[in-house]
Amino acid sequence: MAFSSSSSLIALALLLSLSVSSVTSTSKFDELFQPYWAADHFSFDGDAVNMKLDNFSGAGFSSKSKYMFGKVNVQIKLVEGDSAGTVTAFYMSSDGPKHHEFDFEFLGNTTGEPYIVQTNVYVNGVGNREQRLNLWFDPTKDFHTYSILWNQRQVVFLVDETPIRVHSNLEHKGIPFPKDQAMGVYSSIWNADDWATQGGRVKTDWTHAPFVASYRSFEINGCECPVSTADSDNAKRCATSGGWWDQPILSELNVHQSHQLIWVRANHMIYDYCSDAGRFPSVPVECEHHRH
């Protein structure tokens, strides 16, 4: 291969350095995750990974490994403008009919109307534990950090390190707590206009497609579970490995975090399954023990 001039060499060097830097900035995504749905609906832009929904397909990515306990952080910038009918989810889940799942679901809205953040917890295959809140910022303007902290005492959902939900271990009251199955980390965007926006009344306007959610700053800091190892062995190892997530200080919210959660619930919560008497004539058993 011959080069006709030094300027093309410089251009080539520039190109190479550009591609190298974009490789390093998304390497964390490649190291931890892979597209599992519609790889052709992904694009990589500097340190951001974009996933799009159009009238042909949604898209999703999953972690390459599974984990038991730890913390997952990802920064997300939700669909800008008209996102009505779309749902973007970020969640952890195990496999099988008795799976556990910790969900963030971001329900889109028409331009200028607020997104709703719905969280849910599935234990042994059963969910129906929805909470909904609006946010104290516009999640479509900038990247914000969404996290799940999971240890043997609690599951905490955090937005920019502010706890928005705690699911506590109440096994001493006979209530099962998810701590025996390794979980993957997932995100997806899809069309859910049968329920997502204003109860399904507002449909996806495909003339506004593609709907793009952007991600960056992927972090998983937990007890990694080889797929070849049985859950019971992983559970034993991950529960006794002395991981940072088992420090006593992380067994419940600290005072500052408790105040933050009270503030979120007082100012931003719009739905809590625990107080939905129409749906649950007798209060779900774990709600009786909620201390907030």
Interaction pattern, residues 50-79, with ligand NAG; x per rule: CB under 6 A: -----x------------------------
Q: Give the nearer residue to ligand NAG in terms of CB position, either 55 or 229.
A: 55
Is 44 a binding residue for ligand NAG by CB under 6 A? The answer is no
Q: Is the peptide bond before 178 cis (omega within 30 degrees of 0)?
A: no
Cα 245 to Cα 25, 73, 151, 224, 250: the distances in Å are 27, 14, 6, 13, 6
Supply the minimum distance, in Å, between the C-beta of residue 59 and ligand NAG: 16
Q: Is 161 tagged catalytic? A: no
Closest-CB residue for ligand NAG? 113
Distance of alpha carbon 179 from alpha carbon 201, whole angstroms: 38
Distance of alpha carbon 141 from alpha carbon 143, whole angstroms: 7
Of 2-10, 38-46, 149-157, 194-202, the window that binds ligand NAG (rule: CB under 6 A) is 194-202
Distance of alpha carbon 245 from alpha carbon 250, whole angstroms: 6
* Residue of 31, 80, 105, 130 marked active site: 105
Q: Is 113 tagged catalytic? A: no
Is 114 a binding residue for ligand NAG by CB under 6 A? The answer is yes
Is 113 a binding residue for ligand NAG by CB under 6 A? The answer is yes
Non-local CB neighbours of 179 within 8 Å, separated by 6+ positions: 68, 69, 152, 169, 235, 239
Of 149-157, 180-188, 201-209, 271-279, the window that binds ligand NAG (rule: CB under 6 A) is 201-209
Q: Give the nearer residue to ligand NAG in terms of CB position, either 94 or 140.
A: 140
Distance of alpha carbon 210 from alpha carbon 43, whole angstroms: 12
Is 191 a binding residue for ligand NAG by CB under 6 A? The answer is no
Supply the minimum distance, in Å, between the C-beta of residue 201 and ligand NAG: 8
Distance of alpha carbon 205 from alpha carbon 84, whole angstroms: 7
Of 32-40, 106-114, 242-250, 272-280, the window that binds ligand NAG (rule: CB under 6 A) is 106-114
Distance of alpha carbon 190 from alpha carbon 184, whole angstroms: 19
Is 151 a binding residue for ligand NAG by CB under 6 A? The answer is no
DSSP string of 164-183? EEEEE--GGGT---S-SS-B
Supply the minimum distance, in Å, between the C-beta of residue 42 and ligand NAG: 19
Q: Give the nearer residue to ligand NAG in terms of CB position, either 28 or 265.
A: 265
Ramachandran assignment for 158, one of left (phi > 0), alpha (psi -120 to 50 degrees), beta (any other)? beta
- Active-site residues, by number, are 101, 105
